[in-house]
Amino acid sequence: MKNKITHNAIILVYLLILSSCALFQKKNKVQLQPAQLVSIKAIDLSEDRSTLSSNNDEILVSIFFGSQQDKIWHFNGYRLETMVFDSAHSNYTLDSVELSTDFDCQDCTAFICLTEIDTDGSEDSTQTALEQLLNTIGYKALDTKSIVDAALPDNDFLGVIKLPYFVPEMGTAYRIEGKDLLDSYAYDIKISIKSK
């Protein structure tokens, strides 16, 4: 009987040690967040099956910040100046495009969206349409290209990168790529990250 009690006590102490180590490791795990948008590089601008087109691609970069409250997503954001990509200028290195937050937000995500501008002067209306779509449909609003294209009849939505805040792992290199009729496109996007 005494051996059984001792044996159970040893097992209990061992389990307590293991669980406290696991809790300690969980609390000390690094939490990462996006820090800055570093660069955008056109890898494929083909409009006529060549690797780089001689035509200009005017790209609107939209950045949205979303947070979930009571199961409803709320978004706001801004846009960068339109970037013109062609065979002579295929890379933009950016300064001070901040993505990080000081808030302790477990349900926050930054969205980086690329839209090809086909109609001059439509950048503001495109930005507004994307924000309205996000605030109407929510987190997955930009996942289906046909839904986004219907909201942007004059321009071509290329894609979105979603960057959650305060996660244990986060990459720094992303790609938006696809095909639209005979056109294909690929853009590499680099960000920097930082810990909480």
Residues 5-22: tens digit of each pLDDT: 665 555 555 555 555 444
Q: Closest Cα partner for 107 from 161, 77, 144, 65?
A: 65
- pLDDT the model gives residue 184: 84
Identify the residue with better confidence: 2 or 77. 77
Alpha helices in the chain (DSSP H): 2-27, 123-137, 145-151
* Gap between the Cα atoms of 45 and 186, Å rounded: 7
CB contact burial 20-58 (16+ within 10 A = b; e otherwise):
eeeeeeeeeeeebbbbbbbebebbbbebeeeebbeeebb
pLDDT digits (tens, 9 = 90+) for 116-134: 998 888 999 999 999 999 9
* Gap between the Cα atoms of 92 and 18, Å rounded: 50
- pLDDT the model gives residue 23: 44
Residues with Cβ < 8 Å from 29, sequence gap 6 or more?
Answer: 168
Tell whether the model's pLDDT for residue 114 goes beyond 90: yes
What confidence tier does 168 reach under pLDDT thresholds 50, 70, 90?
very high
Query: Which tokens hold the place of 36?
Result: 């800055």
Tell whether the model's pLDDT for residue 112 goes beyond 90: yes
